[in-house]
Structure 1
């Protein structure tokens, strides 16, 4: 028996359904954490975008990366979060995305290889959580896993 892979829209729908079970801010962080998977499902980056990205200098790539993060609330992430929380005010959605991105940035900024790896991860997220205290405990857990994944 042949199994077919779910369609792109079905796969994205699963991420959105999961995010819809959480408060807006936590949903924004969850969707933000899955941005690369969501992009790949939607066929991003396109072949043309890949070609262009390969021509960028490290400084240009860094600027593009920062621009994408600074404007995440204007891109596809807004649509995903709006689908997860359709009754939420558009400005609240934008603020939630901005906060989620800044929170993730803070977790990485506070990471310091000084001691046991997991303790470094926990300390980094705890320091970020002090600046961004409005997330659920499960989101802080996910943030720890996120930091551990990227620094492994």
Structure 2
């Protein structure tokens, strides 16, 4: 172990080192998922990447006090990876669901092992929470505008 600010894998202490490490891990996952390699994407789905990413997003949704530029970058990258993993699946069907509480029409992805089992209604509800973002935050300069665009891309 070494001393430092906690930004290394084996570092301890520091100021937000675990969040910085998560940012780098999600950024690496984003690069891997962006590769035009369909078996790799399917393997990520089979290994539970969709559920893990939804868990990370749920963690951030439950902690609005944790919102800083790094947290928003992590959330944006997680949503980008979800979008990439769930697009282009040959067995995916799109079904429209009208949400009575919001009166909005949302595409719900079904009939895919990657999407139906793992993304499902929990993922759609999480996206609705992100779409319900306070409009004033979009112009805050922290990156909420990118987060909103990545949320729309997940639909």
TM-score range, shorter chain: 0.3 to 0.5
TM (normalized to structure 1)?
A: 0.35
Whose helix proportion is higher, 1 or 2?
Answer: 1
Greater relative contact order (CA < 8 Å, ≥ 6 in sequence) = 1
TM (normalized to structure 2)?
A: 0.34
